[in-house]
Amino acid sequence: MPACKLCAAETAPFGEQLVLGRHRAAYRRCTACGYVFVENPHWLDEAYASSAIAALDTGIVHRNLWLADTVAALLALRFRGVGRCLDYGGGGGLFVRLLRDRGYDFRWQDRHCPNLFARGFEAGDDERFDLITCFEVVEHLVDPLVTFDALAARAPTLVFATELLPATANRPGEWHYYAPQTGQHVGFFTRASLEGVARRLGRHLASDGRRLHVIATRPIGDRLLRLLARKRWARRLARRFDRRPPLTWSDAALLEQRLLTPRRPAP
């Protein structure tokens, strides 16, 4: 019987459904923390064959605009001393570009997607940061603790988004976030499961109770996250408190200088 991938407790069958229209997926739920995961998702290579970003993700731009407001407000209100930041699993780089345009030194990293909007601001695997963002990523991970441990070793604060398993109508076939059409979502969290991850890392969890979460070395509380989950308030708070000069034109000058600098021939 497979153990929970987060807390190692016993798991029980939670349902089945067809993934990608032809693969039978079996789901298991932890009897302790409630984490739900797919048992042996052998179709992942097929699921990512065409693109890491599913065609069905039509909300990607809308989501990035909201998250840009949300993170800018968080940085201005709770993490004023933050300097260098990383967007892990940054997709096409839109979020990094948006935050750099707001004056924040964000870098991009994604092993599965080309960098379209933040070229020149890629991060190395061993670089450390003051804060890491990680949006719509952890539900894709077969072994999420490996990634949580790695990110915690690189930054004291992790801001991430993933939809929490609802209390009802939460089995395969009843909840949209299983996304069987794409076959890419394989792990589904509860608040209790995220609290267990935070304890493992020796840190504190804050959550809006639905999709926006922070794991940090100091508690920040849930109230602000619940407010920022409302897109109108995220925009208002960002515009009121986020007053850094943009990096847009200095980034352009930096990249232009790199292009003009002759490359030394390889020895």
Residue 54 — pLDDT band, cuts 50, 70, 90? low
Place of tokens 């619940």: 226
Nearest to 177 by CA among 137, 213, 134, 139: 139
Q: From CA 20, how far away is CA 34, in angstroms rounded?
A: 25
Question: 243 in helix, strand or coil?
Answer: coil
The confidence score (pLDDT) of residue 106 equals 98
Q: From CA 93, how far away is CA 31, in angstroms rounded?
A: 38
Residue 242 — pLDDT band, cuts 50, 70, 90? confident
Query: What does the longest C-alpha to C-alpha distance in the chain come to?
Result: 63
CATH, range 11-248? 3.40.50.150
Question: 9 in helix, strand or coil?
Answer: coil
Quick: pLDDT tens for 152-198. Answer: 999 999 999 999 999 999 999 999 999 999 999 999 999 999 999 99
Q: From CA 73, how far away is CA 52, in angstroms rounded?
A: 29
Question: 138 in helix, strand or coil?
Answer: helix
Nearest to 195 by CA among 35, 86, 39: 35
Contact, 187 vs 177, CB < 8 A?
Answer: no
Question: 258 in helix, strand or coil?
Answer: helix
Contact, 196 vs 6, CB < 8 A?
Answer: yes
Neighbour tally for 12: CB within 10 Å: 9
Quick: pLDDT tens for 21-49. Answer: 999 999 999 999 999 999 999 999 999 98
Nearest to 41 by CA among 179, 195, 197, 191: 179
Sequence ranges of the domains in the chain = 11-248
Question: 248 in helix, strand or coil?
Answer: helix
Query: Residue 266 pLDDT > 90, yes or no?
Result: no
Contact, 227 vs 69, CB < 8 A?
Answer: no
Q: How many angstroms separate the first and last alpha carbons of the chain?
A: 55
59 vs 14, more confident: 14
Query: Residue 262 pLDDT > 90, yes or no?
Result: no
Read off the pLDDT of each residue in 7-19 and give the average, rounded to a whole number.
97
Quick: pLDDT tens for 95-152. Answer: 999 999 999 999 999 998 999 999 999 999 989 999 999 999 999 999 999 999 999 9
